[in-house]
Structure 1
Amino acid sequence: MIGRLQGTLLENRAPDLLVDVGGVGYDVQAPLSTAFKLPPVGETVVLHTHLAIREDAHLLFGFGTREERSLFRALIKTSGVGPKLALAILSGMEPEQFVRSVQQKDATMLVKVPGVGKKTAERLIVEMHDRIVDLGGAERLLAMPMAPQATPRPASAEEDAESALIALGYKPQQASRAIAQVAEPGMDSEALIRAALKQMM
């Protein structure tokens, strides 16, 4: 089991990362909340990882904190929630938003995440209530840091942002429309993604 990576960040095309560790490049999928906090390409990063083994692939997921990884692991234990959907949930909602949705039994925010229907949202609320307590309680998760303001990216910001949204499960037309609605001159891809997610949520 690969539980931690420390190496050079070669690519950050959220949610897809490429990290060089001793000359070996690891493809890592990370929630936007983690990808937005990483240092610039070329600098050293440390990721807490979860390895998902399937018959056709080994998928590595990376997180900026142990708490975020623990929440991801708790999510994939929920019936009907796989790693990809868990990643979309953590990308579409801040941890405190998710915790409050569970605490208040409010499925409104959850069903706005691509792939989360009414039944899945209801299962998440029921099954995650006790798991949040087991992870250290809502207070610990609510204390997790928010993602900082985005840093400048190359000129292809709109395409990068659309690709990220599609990778998270949004339909191409939906992603394109959302980006077009929030795009302003000078916005980088991270700012576009955050604005589009906020608009859709």
Structure 2
Amino acid sequence: MIEYLKGKMTQKNPTDVTVECGGVGYFLNISLHTYSLLPENENILIYTFLQVREDAHTLFGFMEKSEREIFKKLISVSGIGASIARTMLSSLSPGQIIEAITTENVPEIQSVKGIGAKTAQRVIIDLKDKLGEIDSSGQISTLQRNSHKDEALSALETLGYTRKQSEKVVSRIIRNDESASVETIIKLALKNL
């Protein structure tokens, strides 16, 4: 995957931008949120996401890593393609999307063109628990606790415990000791399972 492009912005439109890097011009699809953050000068660093399909390789550009993370989470939802995700990020800011999902605000998500009630509910159901590493201001937070929890749960699954039974025990352990290491969480969970 192409992590980012750093080069000269040769063309700028509300829906796309062209960035020249090493003599090659890259066409990037962007949201209105990214467009509003584009600098006036020609030099730019823009984060990217490459979507590979049978009929096309499409490059998307984002001025913020957090917006790219939200985009990737949105397209993971059944019924949300790249164009609808881009429309969502054009209609609502990343912070508004996170807030709408975490507060289960169906009308807010449904206000985006192309999203009906069922799709809005699916977005909320699929993403409500997956936005832990992105806070409501749109910044990617480095909550060690979440990664420790995920690592511990993965390890317990590998050891043969179901995620459902492990989740309750691990959550209780983290609630009692937020700074617990992955090893400590696993050891305590094994005693309680």
Q: Structure 1 length normalisation: TM-score?
A: 0.66
Partner of 2:88: 89
Partner of 2:38: 38
Unaligned runs of 5+ in 1: 145-201
Distance apart, 1:142 and its partner CA: 6.4
1:47 and 1:63 in contact (8 A); partners too? yes
Q: Is the aligned partner of 1:14 residue 2:11?
A: no
The superposition leaves residues 69-118 of structure 1 with CA deviations (integer Å, 9 ceiling, x where unpaired) of: 11111111011111111111111001221112112211111111111111
1:78 and 1:124 in contact (8 A); partners too? yes
SS of residue matched to 2:46: strand
1:3 and 1:48 in contact (8 A); partners too? yes
Counterpart amino acid of residue 96 in structure 1: G
Partner of 2:178: none
Partner of 1:183: none
Deviation >3 Å, runs of 4+: none
SS of residue matched to 1:55: coil
In 2 relative to 1, CA 137–35 (structure 1 residues): closer, same or farther, beyond 3 Å?
Answer: closer
CA distance in 1, matches of 2:140, 2:75: 22
Partner of 1:61: 60
CA distance in 1, matches of 2:47, 2:80: 20
2:9 and 2:44 in contact (8 A); partners too? yes
The superposition leaves residues 14-37 of structure 1 with CA deviations (integer Å, 9 ceiling, x where unpaired) of: 111111111111110111111111
The superposition leaves residues 148-176 of structure 1 with CA deviations (integer Å, 9 ceiling, x where unpaired) of: xxxxxxxxxxxxxxxxxxxxxxxxxxxxx
Counterpart amino acid of residue 30 in structure 2: A
- Which of these residues, 122, 135, 138, is aligned with residue 138 of structure 1? 135
1:95 and 1:142 in contact (8 A); partners too? no
SS of residue matched to 2:71: helix
CA distance in 2, matches of 1:93, 1:126: 19
Distance apart, 1:137 and its partner CA: 4.2
CA distance in 2, matches of 1:104, 1:120: 16
Counterpart amino acid of residue 17 in structure 1: V
CA distance in 2, matches of 1:19, 1:72: 20
Greater relative CO (CA pairs within 8 A, separation 6+): 1
Q: Structure 2 length normalisation: TM-score?
A: 0.69
Q: CA RMSD in A?
A: 1.8
Unaligned runs of 5+ in 2: 142-193
CA distance in 2, matches of 1:24, 1:132: 35
Q: Is the aligned partner of 1:26 residue 2:23?
A: no
Partner of 2:128: 129
In 2 relative to 1, CA 48–143 (structure 1 residues): closer, same or farther, beyond 3 Å?
Answer: closer
